[in-house]
Amino acid sequence: MAEDALDTIADALEGTGAYRVLRRVRPFAGYSAQPDEPTFVGLILDTETTGLDHTADEVIELGIIKFEYGASGRVYRVLGTYNQLHQPSRPIPAEVTRLTGITDADVAGQCIDDAHLQALAADAAVVIAHNASFDRQMCEVRWPIFAEKNWACSCHQIPWREEGHEGQKLSYLLADYGFFHDGHRAIDDCHALLALLASPLRTSGRLALSCLLETARRPTVRIWAAGSPIETKDLLKARRYRWSGQRRCWYIDVEEDRLDIERTFLSQEVFRREVRDLRADRITARDRFSARTNPDL
């Protein structure tokens, strides 16, 4: 049956109010008009790997969409795509094959072209991933150019719940927008994410990419509650402080304008004295999500 006829049926079903129809995500079509604002180059990136440890596991598939976007957050056009399998030094674990469908036979003799990747990423102003703390750490170990880039996380730096979504997983968000995709393959996840970033948010109406970039550009401050009394751990946890096993103390990441608020909280509620030597590290998109700023390593 012709695609137009199927779309007509889908529209009729949705029009009854008794059905929801999910449509497969299509590659971004772009805009024919020339941009009337400053534009920049971005990368959407996704990896499939042999595991979760960036120091021991390896990338077995890398997907990238290179795109042009405006200062407003509007996505104008796709500049290129790259998807490549890579043979790791050890067999792919069975659980990874079950999740991704990628087998040892698929990756045999396959190799990611480092020089091509360097050229592809050279002019990118930002790299976006749906779990940037994972993808960045996996990539920058292998390809140093990614350690030099600004990164943004579409999962955690867009207020999806405030915008009316119950979950932050890519498949959940797509379903809320009426789409589905073949998940757990790198380039398919990239196309799905680009479709989301080019869309307006459900509640505010802002472009998702605009919201993401605004958040990513704002520096944050990591506050260390070093030496906090052990009896205050529940108080700190309730305020969303996290424990750093490496430094053996609690910490929290906040917007810069909340530094004085947290200083007052720690002074009054935790240490019960004025804190004069509070350590606070400033973090920007250049370092955020990188292994070098991971407090748990």
Measuring CA to CA, how many Å separate 109 from each of 48, 62, 278, 297?
17, 15, 52, 33
Per-residue model confidence (pLDDT) at position 230: 96
Per-residue model confidence (pLDDT) at position 8: 87
Q: State pTM to two decimals.
A: 0.93
Q: Decide if pLDDT at 39 tops 70.
A: yes
Q: How many residues does the chain have?
A: 297
Percent of the chain with pLDDT over 90: 88
Contacts 24+ apart (CB under 8 A), 26-32: 26/191, 26/195, 27/78, 27/191, 28/65, 28/67, 28/75, 28/77, 28/78, 28/191, 28/194, 28/195, 28/198, 30/75, 30/76, 30/77, 30/78, 31/74, 31/76, 31/77
Q: Decide if pLDDT at 288 tops 70.
A: yes
Residues 79-111 pLDDT 10s: 999 999 999 999 999 999 999 999 999 999 999
Residues 131-149 pLDDT 10s: 999 999 999 999 999 999 9
Per-residue model confidence (pLDDT) at position 1: 65
Per-residue model confidence (pLDDT) at position 38: 97
E strands of the chain, at which residues?
23-24, 39-49, 59-70, 75-85, 126-129, 151-153, 179-180, 220-225, 242-244, 249-255, 279-283
Q: Decide if pLDDT at 31 tops 90.
A: no
Residues 212-262 pLDDT 10s: 999 999 999 999 999 999 999 999 999 999 999 989 999 999 999 999 999
Residue scoring higher pLDDT (282 or 185): 282
Structural domains in the chain, sorted by start? 24-217 (3.30.420.10), 220-293 (no CATH)
Residues 169-216 pLDDT 10s: 999 999 999 999 987 789 999 999 999 999 999 999 999 999 999 999
